[in-house]
A and B are shown apart, each in its own frame.
Chain A
Amino acid sequence: MVQHHQRSGKQSGKGPIGIAMLAGLFVFAAALAAWAGQPSLQSSETAAGGARTGFAVAADQAEGDQTGRDSANGSADGFDEFDEFDEFDGETGSKPVADPLSGYNRWMTGVNDKLYFWVLKPAATGYAKVTPAVARRSVGRFFKNLGYPLRFVNNLLQLKIRRAGVETARFVVNTTVGVAGFADPARWWMDLEAYPEDFGQTLGHYGVGGGWHLVLPVMGPSNLRDAVSKVPDRFLNPVAYVDPSEVSIAISAYDRINYTSLHLGEYERLKQDAVDWYIFLRNAYEQNRKKKIQE
């Protein structure tokens, strides 16, 4: 090795420079290759369980795995041949959700609607009047930080190790630097985003279908899988361990009112756009859950 080096040095004064140039070029080429390959690397990371777009996963699955798991909203997008409906139907069609409880579900959607307009909205509006938005947003971040155990455990259960790590980093940074989670420096300065996961998503990840659509009191649209999953989810919610349970419930209610105060008007606008409010909610819930499970 040393000999060789000396020899090339003797043979030509420019040898080492040439080697250095080559080395430099090699690094450059490697960097370029990395840059060129970046998008695909990113999307494969997505498929492996890394991304926030959802679509990337859907498309990867469509390419790789046409027999992918069944879902409430029709097959994930094979792109077909050209004929207008043939071409787009795979993407825009939707297989109806199993909904034998639709009578009850519609009724409960109506009950929840009244709850929103008669209880939740007045409470949130009053609260918003006396509490500045900055404070309410901090409270929202505080509750989000408390969701760490749930997100961490369910990321682990799905073997999304990197995300579980990101969640832990977020929790450590936000609980300390972010003062008990009232601030979110992990997102603001370190670009670390939360990866929401719950037990329903974990079950979905392993192929458990949603089952019948089910509208829960207060909590709104759900399905059998996700409704049952709320039980284990509760064990990972620190608020649930507050004693006595009245206080625990009050804290959860406060979380809900705080959240609503930051989203006033959104419910009304969505409802006004819908042709059939119940069907809109049912479909949106299932589409959104499907995306969350895929990513």
Chain B
Amino acid sequence: MWLLSWRDLQYRRRRFAIAVVATGLVFAIALLLSGVSSSFTTEIDRSVAAFTADRWIIPVGAKGPFSNANAFSPSEVIDSVKGAKQVDAMVMNRLVLGSRDVIVFGTEINGIGPRATAGRNVHRAGEAVVDTSLGKAVGDDVTLGGTRFRVVGTTTGHTIFAGSPTAVISIDDARAIGFASQPLATSLLVRGAPQAVPSGYKAITNDTAVDDLERPLQKATGTIDFLRVLLWLIAVGIIGSIVYLTVLEQTRDFAVLKATGVTGRSIFRGLVVEAVIVAVAAAAVATVLALVLGPLMPMSVEISTGTYIALPVIAALAGMMSSLVGLRRALGVDPALAFG
């Protein structure tokens, strides 16, 4: 009975249009939140991979290379690491530039560390490779920790801690900013798999380094996931309300249909079709809204193609769930009401 569903959608088009727009907005917010949550994960994966390290060495008490506040003298540790192809010291400084946090990594020149995707790498003191999200281009100057640097290269998408841009400078410059030029490091970057590390230190994998960056964001991602569930429920509620209202208005019609031999199941199927059409149309609206609004968001929003493909499927399921609110009423309509 597609005919009944299609005609009813046309007949009550204003109401359904409002439902599509309202549900589309809700879906779009859920989609954008998914994008934000997803960007947390992908930015971490991308940024950790950018170091091109196989292992990281940190003090035993530290959780990871990005949260370790206990600087150590690297020279003795580097000498004691056995079996690695290359071991370089790294210093991480968390600085403030204007109103933004900037995460500055000091690495050995030509050593292990992030590489510029435009321009060139740092060759000497006073040079920096910065992420484009900092708003600087090659040739610009940038002041980090009170020291002016010349931007010689840029990276794209190298942010951590939910959008904080990173910068790479020489390790000597980083030590000058953070440790009054003392020869310290916050972690070691390792190529190859070390067979032994000195007592008091441990080698961790990239996955553990990723965990180290994800930990501060766990509450944020948990909250976002919770909000997404709420938004899905709201979407189901909106469609469900429209379906229920339609059922209430059509009680007499349903009674007449039953009296003329239309089964309750047929009527319910019609409701499911209407709810799914509304939900899928809302998913289309949400996709357009997300594509338009995503780039305008202050935070990075990375919505995968898979998410866009999954949305109409999830929306259709939400539509089916919504139509359940009309199930009992549609099936329970007494055909004798047609005479009433």
Q: Is the pairing of A and B real? A: no
